[in-house]
Structure 1
Amino acid sequence: MFRYTLMRLGVFAGCLGVVWGLVYLGVFPRGFGESNGMWIVLLALVISAPISFVVLRGVRDRASVQIVERVDRMKANLDANRNQEDEAVDATGPQGQTS
């Protein structure tokens, strides 16, 4: 997951550099007044999102498999703990008295 995040940030940084260069050269229009920085960042986000979706598909799929495995392990641990608690309650008998 960390690898995907770093790669996603790399794609965004690359797009940010390209967009900044294109705005500086006048290919893309500048923002209004002081909004030029925000315009560049938003345009880079819009451009980098579909690029990341296509280019990083394999990395994203591997990261999602890891997340699913981690969630399944946590569910199994919770079920095991729940079963241990149920067994402890059953062993104490009714009203919390030991048999």
Structure 2
Amino acid sequence: MSTHDVSTKHATIRYTAMRLGVFAACFGAIWILVSLRVLPSGLGGVSNVMWVMLLAIVVSAPLSFVLLRKQRDAMSVRIVEKVDETKARMEANRRQEDLA
């Protein structure tokens, strides 16, 4: 296993965990701002938690896009590698069947 394999092996798990971390940080910051009445506590009949969750999703998405670019690229590399391995294995199996 090369060092490239080691660095990308758990790329999807690492990216997902970091994405959840960015969301959690946004959720916490927005919750504090809503509690301090810096931000409104909801619109119409929307509950406070749902409002904070919606705002956290809206804020965390672009932050994740910018802050987690390296992790997202590593995850993409790993996915492409897995797809290529699967294609090669299927092609080898097809050739094996053709010989039989």
Query: Using a 3 Å threshold, how does the CA distance of structure 1 residues 15 and 53 change in structure 2: closer, same or farther?
Result: same
Counterpart check, 1:78 vs 2:90: yes
Aligned with 2:72 (options 60, 70, 76): 60
* Cα displacement (A) at 1:35: 1.6
User: Structure 1 stretch 24-33 or stretch 45-54: which is displaced more?
Assistant: 24-33
Residue 51 of structure 2 is matched in structure 1 by: 39
Residue 28 of structure 1 is matched in structure 2 by: 39
Residue 18 of structure 1 is matched in structure 2 by: 29
Q: For structure 2, list consecutive stretches of 5 or more residues without a partner in the other structure.
A: 1-11
Query: What letter is aligned with 1:37?
Result: V
Aligned length: 88
Tell me the TM-score normalized by structure 1.
Answer: 0.85
Q: Which has the higher contact order (CA 8 A, sep 6+)?
A: 2
Identity of aligned residues (%): 61
* Cα displacement (A) at 1:87: 1.1
Q: For structure 1, list consecutive stretches of 5 or more residues without a partner in the other structure.
A: 89-99
Per-residue displacement from partner, 1:8-31 (whole Å, max 9, x unpaired)? Answer: 000000000000000000011011
State the Cα RMSD in Å: 0.9
Aligned with 1:9 (options 20, 35, 39): 20
Question: Could you say which structure has the larger radius of gyration?
Answer: 1
Per-residue displacement from partner, 1:32-71 (whole Å, max 9, x unpaired)? Answer: 3452111100100000000000000011001100110010
Query: Using a 3 Å threshold, how does the CA distance of structure 1 residues 34 and 47 change in structure 2: closer, same or farther?
Result: closer
Tell me the TM-score normalized by structure 2.
Answer: 0.85
Runs of 4+ in 1 over 3 A off after TM superposition: none
